[in-house]
Amino acid sequence: MHFLSAADFSSEIWERVVHRALDMKAHPDDYSTALGGRSIGLFFAKPSLRTRLSSFVGVAEMAGHALVVSQEQIGVGTREAPGDVSRVMERYLAAVAMRVFEHATLTEFAETTAMPVINLLSDAEHPCQAVADVVTIAEHRPLEGTVLAYVGDGNNVAHSLILAAQRTGMNIRISSPEGYEPAPEFVDAGGGAVELVRDPAAAVAGAHVVYTDVWTSMGDEAHAGDRRSDFVDYRVTSELMARADTQAIFLHCLPAHDDEEVARDVIESSASRVFDQAENRLHAFKSILLECLDDGGTR
């Protein structure tokens, strides 16, 4: 199966994928031959640290072969049509995971191949990050009834978190400046699990998890100055964290900007789980990959 959106996994699959990721973290040797020598393509059109390392290491840890290619090397959409590239890749690979600019590239790949296509990030969503986020929250507390406060840009990360919350029993409050809210179709898809709260202090009040992301995503750098002005009241500080539940944790998908969306003392605080979250990208990807390869029920 493909995993282009957090909505591609049902509630049942979300539960299974999160449980397996936690088991992989605790018992990695039990999955050390899970790929059985299969080759997995990793395509990057954007810079990457956590995504690139976690996917490469994840394939290796399950006895697979990771083949990393970049946009500069193969020219998807410039040198060759995405549909042609996908049909060539499926002759060599068991699956391909892709970090792209436009979500349409993933869609075209998925429409032209039966080989599993996994979204490592697009302009619409970041579903693998959402799985790692849910795994990190599950390590801290039961998912059912968890209140997650997301403060900042209603971007691809926020979109996938909304869909993840709706499927895992969490409630999510999104606090964004006017004009930076999540896309309406994602808010609608979240149903009763999502609430838009303009005031960040109100959004964070009593929350079990406080989450933020960069104010300016890759590709929007030309608007960075305007965004700094628009988001000035949406910075996560220790004072804002104090409004959350006394046992609340802080999450950030990284990279972080200390002078913008979050204060350094929050990242370094006892509430911070950002580096556990980064590690969990590895376990999440491994679990997602097995699910997409129809190995979800095997061990």
Tokens of 262: 């979050």
Q: Is 253 annotated as catalytic? A: yes
Q: Which of 20, 123, 129, 292 is catalytic?
A: 129
**Residue 123 and residue 158: Cα distance in Å, rounded?**
11
Whether 128 is catalytic: no
Q: Is 213 a catalytic residue?
A: yes
On the 0-12 / 13-18 / 19+ scale of CB atoms within 10 A, 99 is: buried
Taking residue 34's Cβ as centre, other Cβ atoms within 10 Å add up to: 19
**How many other CB atoms sit within 10 Å of the CB of residue 223?**
13
SS3 of 245, please? coil
Q: Which structure tokens are listed for 99?
A: 């970090």
Out of 253, 277, 283, 292, pick the active-site residue: 253
Angstrom distance (rounded) from CA 86 to CA 96: 9
Give which of 140, 141, 136 is closest to 161, Cα–Cα.
136
Query: Rounded to whole angstroms, what are the CA distances from 50 to 29, 109, 199?
Result: 22, 23, 31
* Catalytic residue, candidates 123, 153, 213, 245: 213
The verdict on whether 99 is a catalytic residue reads yes
For this structure, is 65 an active site residue? no
CA distances from 10 to 14, 225, 299 (A): 6, 39, 21
Q: Name residues whose C-beta falls within 8 Å of residue 166's C-beta, 6 or more positions apart in sequence.
A: 189, 190, 191, 193, 194
**Count of C-beta atoms within a 10 Å radius of residue 170:** 23
From 99, 227, 235, 252, the catalytic residue: 99
Catalytic site residue 159?
A: no
Among 126, 159, 235, 252, the one annotated catalytic? 126
Handedness of CA 92, 96, 102, 104 (dihedral sign): positive
Other Cβ atoms within 10 Å of 107 Cβ, number: 18
Give the number of C-alpha atoms closer than 13 A to the C-alpha of residue 87, restricted to the C-beta side: 8
- What angle is formed at CA 276 by the lines to CA 64 and CA 128, rounded to 5 degrees? 50
The residues annotated with a catalytic role in the active site are 99, 126, 129, 213, 253, 281
